[in-house]
Chains A and B, each alone.
Chain A
Amino acid sequence: MAFETIDKTAKQILLTVQDYALFALRAVSNLFTPPVYWTDFILQSDIIGVGSGMIVVFAGFFTGGVLAVQSAATLASFGATAVTGRFVSMSMIRELGAVLTGIMVSGRNASSMASELGSMVVTEQIDAMRALGVDPMRKLVTPRIFATVTMLFFLTIVADFCGILGGAAVTVFMNHQNGTQYFSEAYEYLHYPDILQGLVKPLCFGFIIASVGCFYGMRTEGGTQGVGRSTISAVVFASVLIIFVDLLISTAMVSIFR
């Protein structure tokens, strides 16, 4: 009995992974054949990018500030508070900017995509769209994925910038250190591989957020309760996947640019 349950669960997981892979492949391939709904891409870019702008600015700024507070306290015991800028910029650009932005946008947009598309599924709006001769994958999914990938890239740059500013604010106004020294440290020790690492990640995270959100939305079953389940699954899987993929990319990048 227990073996049967394990067998069934394993098959279901494999089937879900297969469905997700096919779903993602189809969503991406739609970008290279007409019709491509550019208006929807712009609309989604506004919702995802501009809409998430403020939370990313604040989250980035405060994270940079926290990094400066914590690192300065530790570095003080080695007499190395002067390298706070280097520490903050490295952490933000290589790691935290992309991951934090990804997690924030995942909470905001993966959930909204799953619930919006899920509601459309349970109220037959997706079927209605298909009956009206429009492919929901092209009209709803592809623009969301493309818009999230594009906008997360820019949001991460904003988060990195705000994080470094937040660190500077704490360093100058709370720790009473020299601002020029902070920015000089932050800039001087930054190399192209660091920036590359920080900018490759949001491309992958953006794809994960939108594809997982849309995937769970489009396979919603069971009325309004099902919409709730899809939303939870989308946020949970997108967030965990972001952190897992972050580990993979970091490991790969560190070994490449050792």
Chain B
Amino acid sequence: MSAAAQPARLDAQGPAVVFRDVTVAFGGPPVLDHISFSVAQRETRILLGPAGVGKSVLLKTANGLVRPESGSVLLLGQDIAQMKDTALFPMRLRTGMVFQEGALFDSLSVRDNVAYQLIQDRVPDDEIDERVREALRFVGLEKTFSLFPGSLSGGMRRRVAIARALIRQPELLLYDSPTGGLDPITSTTIIELIVKQRDFYRTPSILVTHRLQDAFTMCTHKFDPEKDGMVRLPEGHADPNTTFLMMNEGKVIFDGSLHDLVHSTDPFVREFLE
């Protein structure tokens, strides 16, 4: 899984995710209120908004962890809104998700956490070890192979969670506030990993964050394999495949590029940016 060894995935067709008029409510007022948007192949959508507006719920609706009351959710071409659980599990195998706090299994080692799907698939142990080491090398944590999550720092746990999400080379990646609660240096390390993933595999993804700095860094930087790090794009340039969604009170109030975002006249967007 090293950056130089693998080509970007360019074979998939059609949007990875389409939300059509989706409403989610948990027996009260709607958390998601008639949401519509799509994520194209090779596109990274950054979902912005203050805490508690339904960003995480939207992310969990995208892979069927939360079921909508109305509307349709097309995941990799299939409507999952009313799909049975038994049919949903194979669909989720094609996606990768990084949770807010990592959500690593405490009782399993880093190796078993990262290899969780491979173990369920009964992949031979030697192959599992090899693929786990590759995934951990990708996130710069090869030495944690035999450790348990309890002995890792918050940032390391997120990186292991990213390795776990990437190990099966998913067709869609969902990041739920991967830098939430981390210090700026560790946040930058995580964002660099996400940019590396984006620029190398071009996997369509949705990234939830309320940190503008992370969002802008993703848009204005690219991964340089030669330097093995992030470099800034020339002044005035932004990654064309990285676009923004902004939510407020369960509704999408902005959908567009970085340029559109910074020039938006919407009072809430202005207030959020300023």
Contact = CB atoms under 8 A, between A and B. Distances in A.
**Do A and B come together as binding partners?**
yes
A129 B106 CA distance: 12
B97 interface: yes
Given A125-B105, A125-B106, A127-B65, A132 B92 contact: yes
A254 to B, nearest CB: 43
B103 A133 contact: no
B89 A127 contact: no
Given A123-B103, A124-B101, A131 B92 contact: yes
Contact of A128 (B85, B90, B95, B103): B103
The winner among A120, A127, A133, A135 for most chain B CB atoms within 10 A is A133
Given A125-B103, A125-B105, A131 B117 contact: no
Instruction: Please classify the interface of chain B as helix (H, G, I), strand (E, B), loop, or mixed, using the class held by over half of its residues.
Output: mixed
B244 interface: no
A131 B176 CA distance: 12
Nearest to A137: B85
A131 B95 contact: yes
Given A125-B106, A128-B105, A133 B99 contact: no
Nearest to A33: B86
B201 interface: no
B164 to A, nearest CB: 8
Nearest to A138: B89
B99 A135 contact: no
Interface string B234-251: 000000000000000000
B51 interface: no
A135 B87 CA distance: 11
Contacts of A129: 105
A113 B99 CA distance: 23
B120 A131 contact: no
B90 A124 contact: no
A123 B101 CA distance: 8
B63 interface: yes
B268 interface: no
A134 interface: yes
A132 B63 CA distance: 10
B89 A134 contact: yes
B210 interface: no
Nearest to B164: A132
B20 interface: no
Nearest to A134: B120
A134 B116 CA distance: 9
Contacts of A131: 63, 65, 92, 95, 97, 99, 174
A189 B155 CA distance: 68
Contacts of B92: 130-133
A124 B120 CA distance: 19
Contacts of B65: 127, 130-131
Given A124-B99, A124-B100, A127-B60, A133 B89 contact: yes
7 contacts: A123-B106, A127-B65, A128-B97, A130-B65, A131-B95, A132-B120, A135-B85
Interface of A: 119-120, 123-125, 127-135
Given A123-B103, A134-B89, A135-B85, 8 more contacts: A124-B100, A127-B65, A130-B92, A131-B174, A132-B117, A132-B120, A133-B92, A133-B117
